[in-house]
Amino acid sequence: MGQIDRKAEEMECSYRIENGRAVIDKILDPGQSVAVPGELDGYPVTELGAYALADSDVEELYLPARLVKIGAYAFYNCKNLRRITCYGRTMDLGTGLFAGVQTVEYLDITLLCGERSCLKELLSELRQTLRVRIREVESDAGRNPAEGSAIGAARGDPAEGSAIRVARGNPAEGGIPESARMNPTKEGDYAAGAETVMGKNQDAGDISHARLIFPEYYEDSVENTPARIVSIETHGCGHRYRYCFQNRVFQYKDYDAIFPHMKVQEPEALAAELAFCRLRYPLGLTETCAGEYRAYLAEHWQTAGRILIQADRPRCDHATNLDPGQLPWLVEQVLEPEAPDRVLTEMLPSYITMAQELGDTEMVSWMMDYKYKRGKNIVPDQFRPSTLPAPRPRRFEL
């Protein structure tokens, strides 16, 4: 998901204790990476105050598990904010939360299975192209028994109810969500034949993982002056993807059903990235939709291969949901079943050329080795038993 900048381990903030809970009013002199602590003086942090990070240079923000409220304009004018890691329990979001923020590219969120979350509200506030990584945990696994409820009924101390202080909180004490420390790209996150509905991944245990893309959309007001009628025109299919909720619970089947619009309205590279990520991290994916994604990648194999090879570069210069080293999975799990006759003759030679141009020597080596091993197991058509002529009967006379 992302690495914590160790410089952000000690964070200076002003806070107060109310009804046994800590409320952070202001984060003082925040750095580029801010991890809001999960506890202060033994009290759970449940609220981030209004304008808490306004006008700061924060780039990565990590919010704690028991945070349930964020005040108005808390991230106002944070022009460098690129990644947010949080839990779905933060249901009370203040107005203008992302006013003046146009740079958010990644949202990493942990949800409780089947429980309402703040994901819908976050997506409605962020209209730019957004790459979302979702981890779903079972309700029992997502709660700490010591916390009691999802918010945590912490102990109350009336004597400290109005105390306002400046303190240094250590996010290592519970402020960094588990999703920020996990490595979601370990081998075996998805294997062919996992399940018909690919939501319970055997290798991921009780934690399921999805990587989604919500494309950008914007609205224009068009006025018909003589009739004095103003109509709203929506551009892009991002608004469709942001409606895939029922009672604030995200619906994967509705998300996958929009892919035909994605193919027509969005760039081919973005559609290929979405299709690959849905197959590679298939939380809630049905076999029918998986077949549509596989067919799209097989048809647009050049674009799919190019974006995967570009993701291998140490410093990728654009936002992506892809991890390095994923081209072998595309070849073996998608292209071989969909277009086996074209892999050796057309696809691999093209991929090798792409990788050589980008200096990806490791992937070139893998493809050459795969091509050699794969080629040894192929019998040319003219020598297949079904194409050989029937043997002539032989007569021997003595």
What is the rounded CA–CA span in Å between residue 19 and residue 158? 7
Alpha-carbon 26 to chain mean position: 29
The answer to whether 198 touches 124, Cβ cutoff 8 Å, is no
Sign of the C-alpha dihedral computed for residues 109, 113, 114 and 116 taken in this order: negative
What is the rounded CA–CA span in Å between residue 143 and residue 65? 9
Q: Which residue has the higher pLDDT, 376 or 68?
A: 68
What is the rounded CA–CA span in Å between residue 241 and residue 255? 6
For residue 233, is pLDDT > 80?
no
Closest CA to 62 of 187, 162, 173, 196: 173
The answer to whether 209 touches 133, Cβ cutoff 8 Å, is yes
Q: Which residue has the higher pLDDT, 98 or 7?
A: 98
What is the rounded CA–CA span in Å between residue 334 and residue 23? 49
How do residues 298-331 score in pLDDT, each as one tens digit? 999 999 999 999 999 877 667 899 999 999 999 9
Of 55-59, 125-129, 368-372, 390-394, minimum mean pLDDT range: 390-394
The torsion of the CA quartet 245, 251, 253, 255, rounded to 10 degrees, works out to 60
* Residue 230: pLDDT band with limits 50, 70, 90: confident
The pLDDT of residue 77 is: 94
How does the average pLDDT of the chain come out, rounded? Answer: 79
The pLDDT of residue 161 is: 41
How do residues 54-111 score in pLDDT, each as one tens digit? 999 999 999 999 999 999 999 999 999 999 999 999 999 999 999 999 999 999 999 9
* Residue 360: pLDDT band with limits 50, 70, 90: very high
Interior angle at CA 124, CA 274 and CA 85, nearest 5: 70
* Residue 226: pLDDT band with limits 50, 70, 90: confident
